Amino acid sequence: MRKYWHVLKIGIENTMVYRVNFLLRAGFGLIPLLATIYLWQTVYRGQSSSIAGYSLGGMISYYLLVTIVDTLTAVNEDDWQIAADIKDGNISQFLLKPIDYLTYRLCLFLSGKIIFTVVSLVPVGIFIFCLRQYMVAPAGGWALVCFLLSTLLAALLQFFMSYTMALLAFWLLEVSTVIFMAFAFEYLAGGHVFPLNILPPALEAVLNCTPFPYLLFFPVSIYLGQVQGAALWRGLGIQAAWLLFFYLLARMVWHRGIRKYSAVGG
């Protein structure tokens, strides 16, 4: 275990180099968020009632929570780095050493997340503070605990999905198109763009059969108290099941990929 502790520490030191980039990324990302919030405010001004059960405060809180969960869970550069490691033959050294590549990458992902979260704390914190009048409190102490648990599961799910996707580099020359396509789909089906429960119910039901809502929408809806009781436990169970599924898939794809791998120029 100690060797992975070192990986975590090295990862933190390495990502510290990118702190200015992270700050810019987190800061600039708030501009479209602010624009979306203004847009919804204008929509609500046109009609006094709530929209699909969301008051204006609820809608703005939704986007603020999305920003928080996204900061805590999104992969930054991990998928590109994994694909590059495979393409450049860097993974050869992991095949020779007693280090498990998946655990190694997971440590780097976690260290990256720690730094990104700490750096984002300033701009995101100020932003939320300015909009605190709209921010609703969690639906209860228990909801907050489940929200945090679900966010942790979402981060791991996000990592295993991105990891599996990046392993396609064993077979494909160029994985960036695939990654961007999946990202576009995740953006919509995960609930980045709008809350999924303002969609027509049939469409929402279809999306709930995919893993994407469990990356973002599900934890946020726990916080807002939209899923409670049995539905909450069932949701957490499905989220954990998707996590297990993608963990096993990642292991399987790695084993297939290694057989294909020929260490060009390694």
Partner 1 sequence: MNPEPVKSISGLRRYAMIYAALWRNSVVREMGFKSNFLLWIVVELMWFTLQLCFIGVIYLHTDHIATWTKWQVVLLVGASQFIQQLFQAIFLSNCIQFSELVRTGRLDFMLLLPMNTRFLVSLRVVDLGGFVNGASALVVMGYAGHQLHLSPSAAQILGFFLLCVASILIHYSLIFLLTSVAFWTVRAQGIIWGYYSLFNVARLPDAAFQGFFKAFFTFAIPMLLVANVPAKLLLNTLQSPGSMLLLAGMGGMCFVLSELFWRFSLRRYTSASA
Contacts with partner 1 by CB under 8 A lie at 20-21, 24-25, 27-29, 31-32, 34-35, 38-39, 42-43, 46-47, 51-52, 173-174, 177-178, 180-181, 184-185, 187-188, 193-194, 198-200
Residues 20, 112: Cα–Cα separation, whole Å: 13
Q: Which is nearer to partner 1, 52 or 252 (CB)?
A: 52
The residues near 93 (Cβ < 8 Å, ≥ 6 apart) are none
Q: Which is nearer to partner 1, 167 or 175 (CB)?
A: 175
User: Which of 85, 76, 46, 41 is closest to 183 using CA atoms?
Assistant: 76
Least distance in angstroms from the C-beta of 101 to partner 1 = 27
Q: Which is nearer to partner 1, 38 or 233 (CB)?
A: 38
Q: Which is nearer to partner 1, 42 or 262 (CB)?
A: 42
Q: Which is nearer to partner 1, 98 or 200 (CB)?
A: 200
Query: Contact at 8 Å (CB) between 155 and 242?
Result: no
Residues 117, 135: Cα–Cα separation, whole Å: 20
Distances (CA, A) of 21 to 77, 83, 121, 265: 12, 21, 14, 32
- Count of residues in the chain: 266
Q: Which is nearer to partner 1, 35 or 264 (CB)?
A: 35
Least distance in angstroms from the C-beta of 28 to partner 1 = 3
Least distance in angstroms from the C-beta of 202 to partner 1 = 13
- Partners of 51 in beta bridges: 54
Residues 4, 133: Cα–Cα separation, whole Å: 43
Least distance in angstroms from the C-beta of 42 to partner 1 = 4
Q: Is 64 exposed, middle or buried (0-12, 13-18, 19+ CB in 10 A)?
A: buried
Least distance in angstroms from the C-beta of 21 to partner 1 = 4
Which 3 state secondary structure label does DSSP give 131?
A: coil
Least distance in angstroms from the C-beta of 181 to partner 1 = 6
